[in-house]
Each structure stands twice: as structure tokens, then as C-alpha cells.
Structure 1
């Protein structure tokens, strides 16, 4: 691959999605950067200005001017952080949340229109290719970005109020965007989460939220399996924006350690072959593939896989 190969792809993709004329494409008054800031604030409910600057790698002066514009337009409020008065807390107003919701809705419509051009039997291939590009470039960028340090500081904790709903919502969003999976998958996640919340035994079952700067960016679940002395790893997810910095490995390792300490003899999981990055995490943690079976689910032809780890 040459430099020109990458530049050619960049030109093709930015033209395809209209990134150079974002406001016209989505019929909004916001630039792409402004829309990203609104999205981050919407996802986090509220955030420190320093968190926004780090997440989006923006110049401090530029971000300050952008937030000033948002405040003047009634989209945000700013004030001292409750945790550290030296940091500035930023939160969307109802008007700002409405603007962020409209942007999200129009962006999803735009991507849906783009995805509709791709035959259903080729979407898994497209998703896998995009995942590979993201993973390889994220790994190559690690020594040169401040993001790994921030991700490394993510706290793994119990879900707070509303965050079980976040698990369902974020799974539905990410898998629809990356693999074209339909609402069947989100419904499955909702059932898993609801069943776990209603019947969880704290001594041998647990859910973790990866918290970065006060917002969830990942999750994994350890539940009791039907087989004796066996636990099941479920619903591993790392937000696309923080992938490539070993947060997924931390979540898997934490689940494995908990299962071992809880006295289980085996930890099992079920996944699909198209989820290549997750499968690599399982392999590195010592899981072994025990069975494969084709199936049609979530609007796609998939190959389900069973993996097992002896504790």
C-alpha cells in the first residue's frame, strides 16, 4: 500500500458521505466538528471541557470558541465541575438536546440510505473490512495519541441508574451501524439484560460498566450458565471511539478473574465469526473454539461460535 492509496480512499469516502459539506448533507447549520461536540455531550449527558478536548483532539482555544458559540445560541450551559472546581462542566440544554437528537436522526437516515445500496449478502463483508481498517489504524496511532492513557484510566464498576438501558441502546446502535443487524438483536440484548437484572445472584454474577470521565464506554457481563459449575460471558462491548487501547482485554480479563474467584470451573461464550476483534480477545485470554453453526439472525447470514475456557 502507498500513501496515494490511502489519500485516494480518503477522497472517495469523504465525497461518498458528504463530509466536506456536512451541513448541507444533513440540512443543519452545524459543521462536522460542531456536530461531533453535540454528539459527545448528548452521549455523556454532561462532560468536562477537558474530556471533550481529549476525546476529539481539539485545540483548546478552538473548543472554547465553539462552546462560547453554543452557549450564546442556548445549546449548552457551563459551570465549575462538581468534582474539581478547576475544570469546566458542560451540559446540553433542552434546546441543545433537541438539536443533537435531530442530528443523530438525520445522520442515521443518511447512513441507512448509503447502506441500502449495498446488497444484504455483502454487508457483513463491508462491516468486517471497516472494522479491520479501524483496528489497524488505531493500533498504529497508539504511540502518538493521548487517548490510550485516558482509556487506561477507565473505571470498571457496577451499572448506575439508567445504565442497563444504555447497554441495550448502545448494542443496538453499534451493531446496526457496523453490521447492519436489525431490531431482533436489540430485542435479544434487552431480554438478556432484563433477565439478569431480575434474577442476578451478586455472589456469582456481575455486570461491569467501563466509565471514562463519567460516561459509559464499554460493558461485559458474567452470568451463571445452565451447565453445572459454568459461567457465561455475555454482552462484551467497547464503544468504537475508544477501541484499540486494550479496554476490551481489560473487560474480558476482569470477567475471567471474577468467574475464577466465584468458584466456576469453566467460562463459556457464544459469538459470531464476523466479530473478528472480539474473537481475537477471546483467543488471547485462552478461550478455545468448540463448535460452529451457520444461522440466519438479525437480518444477516452468520456463523455462530461456541468458545470455552477452563478456569
Structure 2
């Protein structure tokens, strides 16, 4: 009976997936496997062919053909691996990120349309049931969502920019007693990004853990020529200790250096000790600090700078 139930579920779910991709518009012009490779490349900070083979359980020859096509189409670049000189690091180009972003947007819209048919009160049960299936059939692997390898970095989707404003306001009020002036500042930063940002020179990231956002950061143009500014780094308290902040800052530094900025700057306050530690580990130098009264508190503001032309350690 159990075997029959599982087979019946497989048939049902296969039909659901088929309905989601009716007419094969979801992955076009790529195959499902090619779309999965693009997804992994878009959500992993550092990836080589061996990583992809292990994660996706792909034949080496098949994966090689996919990567060759991507390279020919200008979607990826290959270079020496930082971890092992015998390996080749694979990174998405700007067109590659655009292609991955389009696929991700289609997937979100499609799943959103599916969820629209589910009554709101039933959605938590649906998600919990899916999590149970993954946990049991995954041998307990997904029972530990706090594992660092479960964290993915992605572009913001619908509602994520609002989440950035809400969580910044709530978290800094709870942890530091800041008033709504800070939330207003964050809202203006996010609104400026949403209304007028250059996707080739500016970008935002959401850190996702077990299907929920747990962190964010932005890279935007500064007023000084050739300078980018890191803004709104945040990691939820229950997701700290997994290296998420470090990964978010790494994403900003790699992006800013990759698109040709000379300097990366940021403004923070001395009470944010954990964030300052991350900045220091990435080579940022404190260039100025000044007491100020903001957000209902007496603070010491700090300006930090990273020379992107310097050779990374």
C-alpha cells in the first residue's frame, strides 16, 4: 500500500509540474537541466565543475557540453579556482545573470499563480508537508536548515524590497532602540534603488534560508566617480553564525570589482561591532568617524573604504 501511495503521489506531482510548464515557456530557450545549472551558478558565490557535478548529480561529459554552450553564448567565464589551482572557477557574466534572473522571475510568477489557487489558511500546511517530504527522503539533510550550505544568495523578488525596509526598522529598534527615523532612511534608500538603478552597476542581494529571507545587502553608485557604496547589510538574529554576513559582503566586493569600480565605501556606526568585524576582514579601512545624534540615540558614525584595485589576499 505504501508503494502504491508513493507512486500515486509521484504521478500527481508530475502532472502538477507539467501543468506549471505547459508549453515549455518556463525554461525556454534552455532545458530543465540547463536551467538548474544556471540557478546553481547564480546562487553560489564560488563554483567549479566538480561542485556542479556533485550538487546536481550530472554526468561529467553532459555537464561539460552544457558549460561549453554557456561559454559560447557568453553566459559564463572560466578562470583559476581560488581553492584549488587544478580546478576552473565558473562565474556568470552580466548576460548570464540576466538569463538566470529571467528564469527565476518566471519560476516565481508560475509558483505564485499556483499558490493563488490555494486558500491562505492552507498554505502553511502545504509548506510544512513539503518540508516533511524533503526531510524524510533527504535522510534528514533538510532537517537542519541552519547548515551554511542551505543558504542561497539571490536577487530580490516581489515583496523583498518591502521586507528589507520592515526588517531593518524592526530589528534596529529591537536591538539598539533606534526610532522610526532609521526606518524612514531605509525606505528612501530602497525607494531610490527600486525607481532608478542601473542593473549593470548596482545590485541587491537577498540571503535565503529554508525558503525565507534572512539577510540582505545593496551595492549602489556613490556620488564620487568610480566609487560604489555598500548599504543595508542585515542578517536575522536566528541566522547568525552561518557566515551569511561574510557571504553578502563578498558578493558586493566581487560585483563592484567585476564591473570596474575603483573604490567601495560604506557608512556605519560604532555600535554595530559584528558588521565592523566583517568589513575589517574584507580589507576595509576606517577613514573617518564623527559623533552624531540620529535615530533617537547618540552614536558615532564611521566611514570605511576599500581599495578595489589592490590585489585580494
TM-score by length of 1: 0.55
Tell me, yes or no, if the aligned pair for 1:158 and 1:209 is still in contact at 8 Å. yes
Partner of 1:204 in structure 2?
Answer: 201
Aligned to 2:213: 216
Q: CA RMSD in A?
A: 2.3
Take 2:255 and 2:156, find their aligned partners in 1: how far apart are those partners?
16
Cα distance in structure 2, aligned partners of 1:75 and 1:82: 11
Match of 1:294 among 291, 295, 300: 291
Q: Distance in 1 between matches of 2:218 and 2:131?
A: 32
Distance 2:185 2:287 in 1: 23
Counterparts in 2 of 1:87 and 1:188: CA distance versus 1, 3 Å: same
Report the counterpart of residue 283 of structure 1 in structure 2: 280
DSSP-derived class of the 1:192 partner: helix
**Which whole-Å deviations, capped at 9, do the CAs of 1:152-204 have from their partners, x for residues lacking one?**
32111111101100000000010000000000000000000000111110001
Q: Is the 8 A contact 2:208 2:215 kept in 1?
A: yes
**Structure 1 pair 243–195 and aligned structure 2 pair: CA distance change class (3 A):** same
Indicate the structure whose relative CO is greater, using CA pairs within 8 Å and at least 6 residues apart: 1
Distance of aligned partners of 1:296 and 1:87 in 2 relative to their CA distance in 1, 3 Å threshold:
same
Whether 1:155 and 2:202 are equivalent positions in the alignment is no
Ranges of 4+ aligned residues in structure 1 off by more than 4 Å? 74-77, 80-85, 145-148
Write the deviation string for residues 239-264 of structure 1: whole angstroms up to 9, x where unpaired.
01011221100000110000000100
* Unmatched 5+ stretches in structure 2: 1-120, 136-142, 309-313
In 2 relative to 1, CA 80–207 (structure 1 residues): closer, same or farther, beyond 3 Å?
closer
- Match of 1:3? none
1:79 to 126, 129, 141: 126
Change (3 A) 1:83 1:200: farther
2:172 to 167, 170, 175: 175
C-alpha distance in structure 1 between counterparts of 2:134 and 2:164, whole Å: 28
What is the TM-score when the length of structure 2 is the normalising length? 0.55
The aligned length equals: 181
Change (3 A) 1:281 1:184: same
**1:228-284: per-residue Cα shift (whole Å, max 9, x none)?**
100000000000101122110000011000000010000000000010000000000
Secondary structure of residue in 2 paired with 1:177: helix
1:225 CA drift (Å): 0.4
- For 2:204 and 2:216, locate their aligned partners in 1 and report how far apart those are by CA, in whole Å: 7
Structure 1, unmatched stretches of 5+, are 1-73, 89-144
Distance 2:221 2:185 in 1: 18
CA distance in 2, matches of 1:80, 1:278: 33
Aligned to 2:269: 272
Report deviation, 1:208.
Answer: 0.1
1:157 and 1:80 mapped to 2: Cα distance? 20
1:232–1:80: structure 2 CA closer, same or farther, 3 Å change rule? closer
When residues 76 and 263 of structure 1 are mapped into structure 2, their CA distance, relative to the original with a 3 A threshold, is: closer
